[in-house]
Each structure stands twice: as structure tokens, then as C-alpha cells.
Amino acid sequence: MFNWDNKYLNKVMLLIGILVTSQVVWSQDTGYYGYGKPATQEEIAGWDIDVRPDGKGLPDGSGSVSRGEELYDAKCASCHGAFGEGEGRWPKLAGGFGTLDKAKPDKTVGSYWPYASTLWDYIHRAMPFTQPQSLTIDETYSLTAYVLYLNGIVEEDFELTHGNFTEIEMPNKDGFYEDNRPDVKNPACMENCKDPKTITITSAIKGITPLDHVAEEEKSNQKNSSAPKTPDSKNKKEVTEEEQMRIGRKVYGNSCSICHGQGVAGAPIFGDKVAWESRTAQGFEVLKKHALEGFSGESGVMPAKGGNPSLSEQEISAAVFYMIESTK
Amino acid sequence: MKKISGKTSDLLREIKAEAAEMPVSERRNFLLRGLQLTAGSAFAMSAAKIMASDSSLPPNVPAWTKSLGRGVVSEPYGKPSKYEDDVIRRTVTWLTATPQSSISMTPIHEMKGIITPSGLVFERYHAGLPDVNPDEHRLMIHGMVKNPIILTMDDLMRFPSESVIHFLECPANGGMEWHGAQMEALQFTHGMLSCCEWTGVKLSTILDEVGLLPEAKWVLAEGADGATMTRSIPLEKALDDTLVVFAQNGERLRPEQGYPVRLFNPGWEGNTSIKWLRRLEIGDKPWYQREETSKYTDLMPDGKARKFSFIQETNSVITSPCPERPMLRKGVYELEGIAWSGRGTIKRVDVSFDGGVSWRQAKLKGLVLPKAITRFSLEINWQGEPLLLQSRSIDESGYVQPTLTQLRSVRGSNSIYHKNSIHTWKLDSDGTVSNVQLG
């Protein structure tokens, strides 16, 4: 049956050759400019790492919740917290269900993300933060499974595979809709647009803006101002507190923020109301004493004067005052 | 750097204050000692400024007039005057866990005209600033195309290019103010905004080159940074005015802005203009990447969220006066501000002095270009009366910048992004300007 003579075979080979050649020529012909070079399948495969909700782009592989837990503890928990609660300002991964319409919504993978593919894709392309694209395919499956488990979306014994991936349904999959702006209409009134008596004014929170560069200008402004300033006893007290805040902000920026900015050594993070609540409950004097003399507690260690012995008692006091005020 | 700057300026201030109380003869020696104290730091020059101020004014002749200056190429790539060392990007450190995934703001209170100098354009990184070697950088275009290709930078720059002036704005600009006034300076309330001339190849030219398949509907753009940042762009936009940009303000892109190549989507949220662009994949559906689901979606009061909210709606703010630029004296003053819209050209800007009870039309000045920063001004004669200053922009679509109350009534306070409401500065009789919100 396949006992073709050489002449016939040569003709077939020639025909195939023409077809292949014409294919290549056709492909190179489509570009008007002809710049660049054709991308090979191998080159594309190395960079084409995106995964879509319908599973397009997801490579073969698998990973279990238990394997994911080991990896998570080793590579992820230091930022995201042992249970996905998020350390400091690092992203919280788990929980927050039922909070999206509340005053303080908690947008986590479980409560907010509409698709599991996003989780797989993002871990694979960008995590861990300091070593992106270092995880293997199966490690990515395992970590994805574990984060889903932290959110109660899969069971403890679950194994995530290429086969069952698209069956995962995220709780907030229907939580998004297309942009429907413009959503407000301002009539651009020119006169008598509102009753001036009804206007209420809320000022900016003091002390949380890095303002070193403005302070100097403010000073020169005051010097040039012709408006008289008549401080009475009430104003005097405010000036003292403002001065405390000013010094405190500076000391905080130069010393305290190194730990309290990110929660190093268990330091309560600046502005974190919950973390500060139990501390401020002890009273200003206690916190000041701890800051001055150092303190070693269950949750962390505070070196005397934050490890900066050149700071004066007044500066430490102002810094404590500033940090407490900033959590209010 | 900031910390050093704070300390040095304090030192200089102390020196100046002490010197003021001395007899003139002693003053120079004292200032010289101060100069030695800070010499070697960049701030020695600020001390020189203080010293010079005594002897440079008429009838005296300043030192720079009585000496020979530096020759050409003493600074092969020129820098701003050393006296402008306060005109810098700044960040709010407590905003983010790490400076590698963070944002800095443009000092818009110091900007003139409509162009932001390249070195002052706000930064936004998701995995730090990568150091991309242009010779080893490639742009891959593949997916639903007839002809997947890989371009070197030389290849890309052979295509016909165009230059356009457009603003670039992070959709989180002003996002810290949804729940209430928080930031005490303009740089922090509105500084996630810049405007440059961008030069590049129209994405439509490149898509024509690779040949789109009929099913093509979306483009995924991907960066070469450690986050390999990705966004899905509808094909309609990609074929309209999206650019593949390699230059800004006449020179190659700055590293902070995506060197050697970035995407640029005019009028759209900055996050879609992927920097360090390495890949464009064409597909039939969006990819729902992290930056278009977890982030850059707008949570509404009912717990649902808007997705693909690309357009930066019109916004405006008064830039002088502002907290950084208080009113220094009474008299005639040119109030200035900027307005911009992702829907096109600014048609009108109104200014209110009484918190929005009555409004006056301002003058648009200089270039008025679509999707670009547009400057407005109004001459006033200020006699120390306290004012509630506001500006309100209207773009070519007829959309009017809303009040914060109007925005909140629809969106609540948790949507983070796209806060384009009318901003209020409270001007006190002593000239101080502060950030307030009106109810």
C-alpha cells in the first residue's frame, strides 16, 4: 500500500514543500511595515502567563490545601498573617464576608474577588512580593487552594487541579457591574445656589500630612500678615497642643516611624485604632514612661526612647502625644 | 533624604534666628560658621542664599554680577536651580506597607503652564522601579492576531509616531478625602496628576500590522516589572487613541514613567497606561486581573462594585492660593487653578468665594487641549476677608463637576477611586489656606 516509487514520493515532498513555503510567505506578508520578527510558539509560551476566569491560560498541574499551608507559612504569612488577616498595612486575604455594604468594608479574596483565576494568576505572576515568578505551577495551585480554604471556599482535604478549577465559585462573583457613569448631574447654578446659613465646614484632620516643607512658608506668611493676633488664655492652650503635635510629628517621622510605621517588633502601627485602644487605655503617663524607659510586653518590645537616647523628655512626650492623638 | 532636609532646614532657621539678634559685624562670621557646619550637604547653598540677601540688593551689586560664571557643559544634563530644591515629589508614608508598592505626588502648587517636568511626574509602582535595559527589552504582540511579532525598541521606533499633550492621573487622586478632609496640602489632595507631551506609535498602527482576527475584542497589556502589571483594554479604545509611548516632553521616557516603553490611554485612569510594557495579547474577553477586580473597582453603598470604570471625569482645583501658597498680602491677586477632563476639552470653569452660594466664570488661559490640564485664572482684590474658595469645571460633553455631597449621595464613601468633586479651600483673614469640606 505504501510501496510508492521514489518518483511519486518526490512529487509529494515537493508539493508539501510548496505548501509550507507559501504558508510562511503568507504569514510574513500580512504586516505593511514588516518590522520586528515573528514570535515563535516557544517564545510566546514563556511570557504568556495570564489566566482567565474560563480557565484559558491555566497550565496542567495540581496542589493541595495541606501543601499550600506549608508554603504559605514559609513564604506568605509574614506579610499576610497566619490566617490571612494581614500584618500592618499588608493586604488581608481572608474573611470580611457581609461587610461590603457596611461603613468599613473588608475587601478580601473571599469577600470581594469575583474569580479564583485572578488569585492563581496573581500569585503566579507577582508573589512572593520580593521573589516574583519564583513559584512552580504546582506550588501556585497549592497556595491558591490554601487561600481558598482560609476563606472557607474549599475543605481542608481539597486538591485543586486543572480539571476542577473552573468549578470553583467565588462568593462575590455577581458583585460587579459595568461602569454606569456619569451618575450625578450638577445643574451649574450661578446665583443664590444655596442658603449660606446651612453651610457646615469640616476641617482636615491635623497632624497626619507630611508638612515639613509647608511649615517654613507658614512662618513667613505669619510674619508678613497684617492681621493682628491676640492670643487669649484659651488660644494659648491650643497653641501648646499644636506645638506638641508639631514637635511630635517631627520626632515621629525621624525616629518612631521606623518601627511604628510598619509594626516592626510588635509596635502598634501609627493610626491603627484597634492596636492603640488597649495602650491608650493605660493613660498618657504610662505610655510616656514606657517610651522613655523602655518596655517589654507580650506583644512586642519598646526600647528606651525608641533606641534614640539623644531625644529629650519633651520630645518623647510630644511624640507619644502625637501618636495617641493620631489614633483618635 | 527628607529627614536630612528637615534637620538641615531647622538648623539653618536657628542660625538665621540667632544671627538676627547679633550686631551686623558679627553676623557674617557667624553665618560663615553656619555655612561650614552644613557644608558638604546640598543645603549649604540655602545658607549662601541667606548670606547673599544682605549684600546683593540695590544699591549693592551681587557677587554673581562681579564674577565669571561656569562654562558650558559644566552640567551636561541640566538640573533645576539649587534654590528650587523644595520642588520635589512627596509621598505619605503611612499610606502603604512599603515604598515599592506606593505612590508619590507631583508638587502641583509649584507648577506653571500645563506641562509637568518629567522628573516631577507622580510615581506609582506595584513592585518597585525596575531597571530595564532597552537593548534587552522586547515588546511581544500575540493572541488573536494573524501575525504574532516581537519588536525591539529600534523596531518600535521605526513606525510612524505622533506627539500629544495629555494629563495622566491616578484614579485614587483625592481618594484619601472620601470620608472627610484628611490632607493639609494641595500636593497630597490632588498631586496624583501630571500632564506631559507623549510621543509614541498609535496602538492601532501596530494592531493593523499584526492583523486582528474577527473575534478580537480586548487587549491585555502587561508590564515587565516585578508585578508584571496587567490591565484589560477594550479594543474600541485601543483602536481609537491609545499610544505605545517611548518619549515624554521631548526626551525618552524616564524610568519612573516606564522606560523604555509604556502604554498610554488618554483620559483614562493612569493604572491602565501600563509601564515597562512587554506584552500585548489580543483576546475575545477581559482577563479580570488583580488590578481590575481586587483593585481599581469602585465599591458602591449597596455592596456592589463598578468594574472597568476607565474614564477620569472632569475635575478642577484652585492652585493659588492653596495651603502651600497662602495669601501673603492684601491687594490685587491672580487666583489660578487647573481643570482637566478625560472626556475631552474643558469648556468653562467657575469660581466661588462663598462656598458655592454664587459663582463667577473664570478665564481659561494658555493652551486649551482635549484631555490635558487647562489653566484658569481670575483677578481678585483681596482685603483680608475670609473666603470659602471653590472651582467647578465643565467639559465638552456638558458634564459639570459635582459637589462632594452629590457624589456621596450616589457613591457613598467607600469607592476609593474617581473622587472628582468640587474642592474647598478655607481662606482665613490672616491669609492661611486650609483644606475643608462643606456639608
Region B185-190: mean pLDDT is 98
Least reliable range by pLDDT among A297-311, B108-122, B332-346, B421-435: A297-311
CB nearest A227 (choices: B91, B290, B429)? B429
Q: What is the pLDDT of residue A21?
A: 46
Q: Is the pLDDT of residue B26 over 70?
A: no
**Does the residue A264 lie in any domain?**
yes
What does the alpha-carbon distance between residue B94 and residue A261 come to, in Å, rounded to a whole number? 6
How many domains in chain A?
2
Task: Please state the three-class secondary structure of chain B as a single string.
Answer: CHHHHHHHHHHHHHHHHHHHCCCHHHHHHHHHHHHHHHCCCCCHHHHHHHHHHHHCCCCCCCHHHCCCCCCCCCCCCCCCCHHHCCCCCECCHHHCCCCCCEECECCHHHCCCCCCCHHHCCCEECCCCCCCCHHHCCEEEEECECCCEEECHHHHHHCCCEEEEEEEECCCCCHHHCCCCCCCCHHHHHCCEEEEEEEEEEHHHHHHHHCECCCCCEEEEEECCCCCCEEEEEHHHHHHCCEEEEEECCEECCHHHCCCCEEECCCECHHHCCCCEEEEEEECCCCCCHHHCCCCCEECCCCCEEECCCECCCEEEEEECECCECCCCCEEEEEEEEEECCCCCEEEEEEECECCCCCEECEEECCCCCCCCEEEEEEEEECCCCEEEEEEEEECCCCECCCHHHHHHHHCCCCCCCCCCCCEEEECCCCCEEEEEEC
Q: What is the pLDDT of residues B197-228, one digit of tens each?
A: 999 999 999 999 999 999 999 999 999 999 99
* Residue B353: HSE in the Cβ half-sphere, 13 Å Cα cutoff: 14
Say how far apart CA A16 and CA A28 lie, in whole Å: 19
User: Residue B209: which of A32, A186, A226 has the nearest Cβ?
Assistant: A32
DSSP label at A326?
T
- Report the DSSP pairing between strands A295-296 and B331-340: unpaired
Query: Is A246 inside a domain boundary?
Result: yes
The pLDDT of residue B49 is 47
Regions of chain A where pLDDT drops below 50: 1-4, 17-27, 219, 221-239
Distance from CA of A67 to the nearest CA of B (A): 24
Q: For residue B47, is pLDDT > 70?
A: no
What number of H helices and E strands is found in chain A? Answer: 12, 7
* pLDDT per position as a tens digit, A35-65: 999 999 999 999 999 999 999 999 999 999 9
Residue found under cell 518629567: B118
pLDDT the model gives residue B11: 44
Cell of B183: 490632607
Residue B24 has pLDDT above 70, yes or no: no
Q: Which of B237, B253, B88, B236 is nearest to B163 (CA)?
A: B253
In angstroms, the CA A97 to CA A119 distance is 17
**Buried/exposed A310-324: b ≥16 CB within 10 Å, e otherwise:** ebeeebbbbbbbbbb
Contacts of residue A288, Cβ cutoff 8 Å, sequence gap at least 6: A316, A317, A320
Whether A66 and A155 map to the same domain: the answer is yes
**d(Cα A16, Cα A3) in Å, to the nearest integer?**
19
Residues 89-148 of A with CB under 8 A from B: 89-90, 100-101, 103, 105, 107, 109, 112-115, 117-118, 121-122, 125-126, 129, 132-133
Rounded to a whole number, what is the distance in Å from the CA of A227 to chain B's nearest CA? 5
Specify the pairing of strand B193-202 against strand B218-223. Answer: unpaired
**Residues in chain A within 8 Å Cβ distance of B400:** 185-188
Query: Could you tell me which residues are beta bridge partners of residue B124?
Result: B103
Three cell numbers at B439? 456639608
- The answer to whether residue A273 sits within a structural domain is yes
Residue A249 lies in a domain: yes
pLDDT in tens, B376-391: 999 999 999 999 999 9
Distances from the Cα of B194 to the Cα of A211, B248, B377, angstroms: 21, 12, 19
Most confident of the following: A269-273, B35-39, B247-251 = B247-251
Lowest pLDDT segment from A269-273, B73-77, B161-165, B243-247? A269-273
Closest-CA distance of chain A to residue B177, Å: 9
Work out the pLDDT band at B35, boundaries 50, 70, 90. Answer: very low
Give the residue from A58, A201, A220, A311 with the most B CB atoms within 10 Å of its CB, the best one to mutate.
A201
Q: How many Cβ atoms sit within 10 Å of the Cβ of residue A13?
A: 10
CB atoms A216 and B13 under 8 Å = yes
| A209, part of any domain | no
Whether residue A25 lies inside any domain: the answer is: no
Q: Which of A133, A150, A167 is the last residue of a domain?
A: A167
Q: Do B93 and A118 touch (CB under 8 A)?
A: no
Q: According to the model, what pLDDT value does residue A295 have?
A: 82
Q: How far apart are CA A221 and CA B247, in angstroms?
A: 40
What integer pLDDT is reported at residue B39 of this predicted model?
Answer: 35
- Please state, in angstroms and rounded to a whole number, the distance separating the CA atoms of residues B189 and B191: 6
For residue A105, say if its preceding peptide bond is cis, omega within 30 degrees of 0.
Answer: no
Q: Give contacts of B 166-195 with A, CB under 8 A.
A: 180-185, 188
Cβ of B293 within 8 Å of Cβ of A113? The answer is yes
Q: What is the mean pLDDT of residues B42-65?
A: 68
Residue A292: other Cβ atoms inside 10 A:
17
Could you give the domains of chain B? 2-62 (no CATH), 110-306 (3.90.420.10), 315-436 (2.60.40.650)
Euclidean distance between CA atoms A292 and A296, whole angstroms: 13
pTM: 0.78
Q: Is B414 on the interface with A (CB under 8 A)?
A: yes
- Which A residues in the span 18-57 are in contact with B, Cβ-Cβ below 8 Å? 27-28, 30-33, 35-39, 43-44, 47-54, 56
CB B439 within 8 A of CB A200: yes
The CATH number given to whatever domain includes residue A109 is 1.10.760.10
Given a contact cutoff of 8 angstroms between Cβ atoms, the answer to whether A41 and A112 are in contact is no
Domain stop point among A135, A152, A167: A167
Q: Is residue A185 part of a domain?
A: no
Q: Which residue of B has its CA nearest to A200?
A: B439
Tell me whether residues A209 and B182 touch, CB distance under 8 A. Answer: yes
Closest chain A residue to B3, measured at CA? A254
> Which of A181, A222, A272 is the best substitution to test chain B (most B C-beta atoms within 10 A)?
A181
Instruction: Tell me the C-alpha distance between A256 and B124, whole Å.
Output: 26
Instruction: Among B281, B394, B431, select the one facing A48 at the smallest CB separation.
Output: B281
- Spatial separation of the C-alpha atoms in residues B361 and B127, rounded to whole Å: 44
Contacts of B304 in chain A (CB under 8 A): 100, 175-177
User: Any idea how long chain B is?
Assistant: 439
The DSSP line for A107-160 is --TTTT-S-HHHHHHHHHHH-STTSTT-S-HHHHHHHHHHHHHHTTSS-TT-EE
C-alpha to C-alpha distance for A241 and A318, rounded to whole angstroms: 9
pLDDT at A287: 85
Cβ of B211 within 8 Å of Cβ of A178? The answer is no
Domain that residue A268 falls in: 234-325
CA-nearest of B69, B62, B58, B65 to B48 is B62
Distance, in Å, from the CA atom of B12 to the CA atom of B50, rounded to the nearest integer, reads 9
The answer as to whether A307 is a domain residue is yes
Q: A152, A167, A182: which is the final residue of a domain?
A: A167
Q: How far apart are CA B324 and CA B188, in angstroms?
A: 11
Residue of A24, A183, A184, A276 to mutate when probing chain B, most B C-beta within 10 A: A184
Q: Among residues A267, A249, A247, which one has the least CA distance to residue A307? A: A267
- pLDDT value for A227: 42
In a 13 Å sphere around the CA of B390, the CA atoms on its Cβ side amount to 25
ipTM of the complex: 0.87
**Helix or strand holding residue A28 (H, E):** helix A6-29
The answer to whether the CB atoms of B288 and A109 lie below 8 A apart is no
Pairing status of strand B363-365 against strand B243-248 = unpaired
CA atoms of B338 and B115, how far apart (whole Å): 12
Burial class of B171 by CB neighbour count within 10 A (0 to 12, 13 to 18, 19+): buried
pLDDT of residue A274: 80
Contact with chain A for residue B297, Cβ under 8 A: yes
- Chain A closest-CA separation from residue B67 CA (Å): 31
Restricting to A residues 206-235, those with a Cβ less than 8 Å away from any Cβ of B are 206, 208-214, 216-218, 220-222, 224-227, 229
Share of chain B above pLDDT 70, in %: 88
Compute the distance between CA of residue B424 and CA of residue B427 in angstroms, rounded to an integer.
Answer: 10
pLDDT for res A301: 74
Contact criterion met (CB < 8 Å) for A226 and B330: yes
**Residue B378 · residue B136 · CB < 8 Å:** no
